[in-house]
């Protein structure tokens, strides 16, 4: 069963908080849900499906806290890509008649709790990889740096090319009043910042913020009755990548599978995309996804992002026009939901005028959850302005 045109994104909300010392994670979830419902013109009692990942007190606790009356609940957790996965799952549930109005929420307080994501998530001692990995205490930046170093070795990608991803994000963040880093930076600035894990510099890494957001996915008949611009879900796909018993190539991500599947369901090609929201936990994360989604050949990502090619109004493929995880926010150490939010803004024509893409009719949101060098899930969703 295809989900093409079977569901719409009817409401979005990005919490403006970047440091929430006075709010609990549950409050951030609830305030984000309230904001998305107000954006859609719907009420709490309209929600009959809830999609939640592992970024708060738990799905049942939050459903109780928000007073949700549900007939469908999805607790899929794939890390940062979970919320893009949830958009596809919500469309599937609506198409199957399991719910009519789905709520997706994200919230967290890593900044206030001093949980900066420097180390990988605690591993389950019963997991088969525990004995082989735990002793080496892998760090998040180290794992992505391994992928970056291998990409450089295989294809000649340079640190200066990676830096252009940050430069583009900073050009966009200057127009976002809520962005954590609003200062426009140069390639030289990125290369002059301290090395965190060679070859990644500090400015190659995303910010860490509190906050959250929410998305409302609705059945077509409900979306068409609302007084809001309609954003239709054309296609979605997800795929995991793991170590395959040691047969692993660090230069590609699972977007190599999720991207083509989502494009095929949507009936469009990368050349049709006017705007791209790409998960940017690190600059290398963007380069690899752009290759794997089909915007350029494998190994050409460094050249593709260089010289401002990702800057709105200047480059061929505007990306992350809110500043993304590199400059705007990365709530709960998970950034997939905000990627969908900015894609919807672009399609509605509601992005900041300085970064709004002209005639933005089709957009992609892509995310990675986990570690490029060990195990991760990629999710891709294609959206269209109706």
Give the model confidence (pLDDT) of 230-244 as tens digits.
999 999 999 999 987
Give the integer Cα–Cα distance in Å for 198 and 181. 23
Tokens of 3: 């989900």
| pLDDT on residue 132 | 78
Give the integer Cα–Cα distance in Å for 266 and 270. 11
Give the integer Cα–Cα distance in Å for 58 and 334. 16
| pLDDT on residue 117 | 59
Element (H, E) at 101: strand 101-108
Asked whether 81 and 368 are in contact (CB, 8 A), the reply is yes
* Helix intervals (H) in the chain: 25-40, 59-66, 82-95, 130-133, 140-155, 159-173, 187-192, 220-223, 255-266, 283-293, 301-305, 324-327, 336-348
Cα distances from 112 to residues 22, 50, 242, 249, 313, in angstroms, run: 9, 26, 32, 37, 36
Task: Pick the closest to residue 159 from 251, 252, 283 (CA basis).
Answer: 283
Tokens of 43: 């009420």
Convert 222-238 into a string of H (helix), E (strand) and C (coil): HHCCCCCCCEEEEEEEE
- The confidence band for 119, taking pLDDT boundaries of 50, 70 and 90, is low
Pairing of strands 275-278, 362-370: parallel
Tokens of 44: 């709490």
What is the dihedral angle through the alpha carbons of 297, 299, 304, 306, rounded to the nearest 10 degrees?
A: 180
Give the integer Cα–Cα distance in Å for 83 and 304. 27
pLDDT over 80 at 246, yes or no: no
pLDDT over 90 at 92, yes or no: yes
Quote the mean pLDDT of the chain: 95
CA neighbours closer than 13 Å in the CB half-sphere of residue 232: 14
Percentage, residues of the chain above pLDDT 70? 98
Asked whether 274 and 194 are in contact (CB, 8 A), the reply is no
Tokens of 315: 């480059």
Asked whether 29 and 66 are in contact (CB, 8 A), the reply is yes
Question: Which of helix, strand or coil describes residue 17?
Answer: coil
Ramachandran category for residue 211: left, alpha or beta (phi over 0 → left; psi -120 to 50 → alpha): left
Asked whether 322 and 342 are in contact (CB, 8 A), the reply is yes
pLDDT over 80 at 118, yes or no: no
- Average pLDDT for residues 315-324, to the nearest whole number? 98
CATH architecture under which domain 8-113+205-385 falls: 3-Layer(aba) Sandwich (3.40)
Asked whether 363 and 273 are in contact (CB, 8 A), the reply is yes
- Average pLDDT for residues 146-154, to the nearest whole number? 98
pLDDT over 70 at 202, yes or no: yes
Give the integer Cα–Cα distance in Å for 366 and 237. 10
- As beta bridge partners, residue 74 has 51
Quick: pLDDT tens for 342-378: 999 999 999 999 999 999 999 999 999 999 998 999 9
Tokens of 61: 């606790």
- For the entire predicted model, the pTM comes to 0.96
Which distant-in-sequence residues (6+ apart) come within 8 Å of 28 by Cβ? 15, 17, 20, 56, 107, 108, 109, 210, 211, 212
DSSP line for 130-152: HHHHGGG--BHHHHHHHHHHHHH
pLDDT over 80 at 73, yes or no: yes
Give the integer Cα–Cα distance in Å for 142 and 1. 40
Q: Say how many C-beta atoms besides its own lie within 10 A of residue 324's C-beta.
A: 33
- Average pLDDT for residues 209-226, to the nearest whole number? 97
- The confidence band for 21, taking pLDDT boundaries of 50, 70 and 90, is very high
pLDDT over 80 at 120, yes or no: no
- Average pLDDT for residues 326-349, to the nearest whole number? 96
């Amino acid at each position: 069963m295809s989900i093409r045109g079977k569901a719409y994104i009817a409401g979005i909300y990005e919490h403006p908080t970047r440091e929430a010392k006075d709010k609990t994670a549950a409050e951030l979830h609830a305030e984000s849900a309230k904001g998305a419902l107000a954006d859609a013109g719907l009420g709490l009692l309209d929600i009959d499906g809830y999609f939640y990942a592992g970024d708060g007190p738990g799905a049942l606790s939050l459903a109780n806290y928000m007073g949700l009356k549900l007939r469908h609940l999805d607790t899929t957790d794939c890390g940062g890509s979970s919320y893009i996965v949830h958009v596809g799952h919500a469309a599937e549930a609506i198409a199957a008649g399991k719910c009519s109005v789905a709520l997706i929420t994200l919230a967290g307080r890593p900044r206030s709790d001093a949980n900066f994501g420097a180390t990988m998530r605690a591993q389950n001692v019963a997991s088969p990889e525990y004995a082989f990995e735990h002793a080496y205490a892998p760090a998040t930046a180290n794992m992505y740096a391994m992928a970056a170093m291998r990409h450089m070795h295989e294809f000649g990608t340079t640190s200066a090319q990676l830096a252009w991803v940050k430069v583009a994000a900073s050009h966009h963040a200057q127009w976002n009043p809520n962005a954590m880093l609003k200062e426009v930076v140069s390639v030289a600035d990125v290369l002059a910042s301290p090395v965190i894990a060679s070859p990644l510099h500090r400015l190659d890494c995303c910010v860490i913020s509190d906050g959250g957001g929410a998305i409302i996915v609705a059945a077509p008949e409900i979306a068409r009755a609302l007084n809001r611009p309609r954003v239709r879900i054309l296609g979605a796909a997800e795929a995991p990548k793991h170590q395959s018993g040691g047969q692993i190539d660090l230069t590609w991500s699972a977007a190599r599978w999720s991207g083509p599947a989502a494009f095929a369901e949507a009936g469009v090609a990368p050349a049709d995309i006017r705007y791209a929201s790409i998960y940017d936990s690190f600059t290398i994360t963007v380069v690899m996804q752009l290759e794997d989604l089909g915007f350029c050949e494998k190994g050409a990502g460094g050249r593709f992002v260089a010289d401002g090619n990702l800057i709105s109004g200047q480059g061929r493929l505007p990306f992350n026009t809110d500043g993304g995880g590199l400059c705007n926010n990365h709530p709960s150490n998970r950034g997939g939901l905000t990627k969908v939010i900015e894609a919807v803004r672009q399609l509605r024509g509601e992005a900041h005028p300085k970064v709004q893409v002209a005639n933005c009719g089709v957009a992609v949101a892509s995310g990675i959850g986990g570690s490029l060098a060990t195990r991760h899930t990629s999710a891709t969703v294609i959206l269209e302005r109706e």
